[in-house]
C-alpha cells in the first residue's frame, strides 16, 4: 500500500506542513506589520487570570455552585486564544466587552487577586493607544 498524506494522522501532517506554512505566513505578516508579539507582562496577567478562573471553577463545582462555574468559564474561555493570537484590538474587546459582562454575571464582586492583573492589562492598552 502506498502511504499518502490522507493515511497519516492529522497531527503528523499538520506537524510537517505547519512548520513551513506557518513560518512563511508569519514572515509575510511580520513584513506587513500585522503580527504583534504579546508583551510579557500582558501574557503573565492573562495566564494568571485563566489559572485563577480554573481554580475557582473547581472550588465552585465542589460546592455545587454551578451558575458561578458557568460565569467563570464564560469569562476565561477566550483568553488562551488571546494569548496565542494577540492583538491590541482583541485585548480591548476582552477589557471593554467580555470583562464587563463577567462582572455583571458575578454581581460586580470580583475576587481581589484579579484586580492587579486587570489593571496591568488596562495600563498596557492605554499606553499602546497613546503611542
Query: Could you tell me the residue ranges of all domains in the chain?
Result: 1-35, 40-129
Are the C-beta atoms of 74 and 105 separated by less than 8 Å? Answer: yes
pLDDT band per the 50, 70, 90 thresholds, residue 111: confident
Q: Considering the chain, what percentage of its residues have pLDDT values greater than 90? A: 63
Q: How far apart are CA 117 and CA 63, in angstroms?
A: 26
| CB-count exposure of residue 53 (10 Å: 0-12, 13-18, 19+) | buried
Residue 88 has pLDDT above 90, yes or no: yes
φ/ψ of 8, rounded to 5, equals: -85, 150
Closest CA to 36 of 77, 90, 75: 90
Q: Do residues 106 and 71 lie in contact, with contact meaning Cβ atoms separated by under 8 Å?
A: yes
Residues 6+ positions from 80 with CB-CB distance below 8 Å? 50
Q: What number of other Cβ atoms are within 10 A of residue 118's Cβ? A: 16
pLDDT confidence tier of residue 35, bands split at 50, 70 and 90: low
Task: Please give the pLDDT value at position 16.
Answer: 35
Per-residue confidence (pLDDT) for residue 68, from 0 to 100: 87
Top-confidence residue, 12 or 106: 106
Round to whole Å and give the CA distance between 36 and 33: 8
CB of 53 closer than 8 Å to CB of 76: yes
Amino acid at each position: 500500500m502506498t502511504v499518502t498524506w490522507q493515511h497519516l494522522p492529522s497531527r503528523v501532517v499538520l506537524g510537517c506542513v505547519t512548520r513551513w506554512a506557518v513560518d512563511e505566513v508569519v514572515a509575510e505578516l511580520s513584513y506587513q506589520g500585522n503580527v504583534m508579539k504579546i508583551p510579557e507582562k500582558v501574557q503573565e496577567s492573562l495566564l494568571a487570570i485563566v489559572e485563577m478562573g480554573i481554580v475557582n471553577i473547581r472550588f465552585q463545582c465542589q460546592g455545587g455552585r454551578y451558575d458561578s462555574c458557568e460565569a467563570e468559564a464564560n469569562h476565561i474561555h477566550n483568553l488562551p486564544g488571546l494569548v496565542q493570537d494577540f492583538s491590541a484590538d482583541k485585548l480591548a474587546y476582552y477589557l471593554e466587552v467580555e470583562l464587563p459582562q463577567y462582572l455583571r454575571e458575578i454581581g460586580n464582586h470580583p475576587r481581589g487577586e484579579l484586580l492587579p492583573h486587570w489593571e496591568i492589562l488596562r495600563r498596557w492598552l492605554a499606553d499602546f493607544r497613546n503611542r
